[in-house]
Amino acid sequence: MQRPITIDARPGNSLEISPTDLSGVEIYRFPWIREIRGDLTVGELGQANFPFQPKRYFIVFGVPPDVSRGEHAHKRCHQFLICVQGRCNAMVDDGTTRREFVLDNPSVGLYLPPMIWGTQHSYSKNAALLVLASEAYDPDDYIRDYDAFRSAVRAKAR
């Protein structure tokens, strides 16, 4: 497996969006303002800062270092991952390409469109992963079996 990709975070006053080689997966670098009083990063909901209007959020924290989270894809739901404290790795897979990203800066977000398999792991002791979701929780939206996910991707490509 390839080494995890560390996303370079850098102070700046504007949003930067970079594509990846995975279908629809993008890296967002939000404005990161450094001041003597402390740093600040900001994204405006409902604006062009996000690829969807979030309807739900959850925060994953207190994860033991040897435990993985996620391990599923969504049929309709878009997700946006920001590690607001500490660090974790996000493995993403579009059915043909798999990449792993290190999330370790609250000014960086990883966008996962529907039909992307996602697994988060290697959480630091103090990690807190904020996930914004485009849909309310719906258990029928989840694909929890990787082989079923690959079959759905192949069927969609036909």
In this prediction, residue 13 carries a pLDDT of 86
**Number of structural domains, the chain?**
1
> Does residue 69 sit within a domain?
yes
Kindly report the CATH number assigned to the domain that includes residue 65.
2.60.120.10
What pLDDT is recorded for position 156?
84
32 in any annotated domain:
yes
Q: Is residue 8 part of a domain?
A: no
Is 78 considered catalytic here? no
Residue 126 has pLDDT above 90, yes or no: yes
For the stretch 20-58, pLDDT in tens is: 999 999 999 998 998 899 989 988 887 677 889 999 999
Domain of 41?
13-157
Assigned domain for 5 exists: no
Share of the chain above pLDDT 70, in %: 98
Which residue is catalytic, options 72, 74, 78, 121? 72
12 or 124: which leads in pLDDT: 124
Which pLDDT tens digit goes with each residue over 95-116? 999 999 999 999 999 999 999 9
- 44 inside domain: yes
122 domain residue, yes or no: yes
Q: Which residue has the higher pLDDT, 155 or 121?
A: 121
What is the torsion angle, in degrees rounded to the nearest 10, for the CA atoms of residue 142, residue 85, residue 22 and residue 122?
-80
Residue 7 lies in a domain: no
Asked if the structure places residue 95 within a domain, the reply is yes
Q: What is the pLDDT of residues 71-87, one digit of tens each?
A: 999 999 999 999 999 99
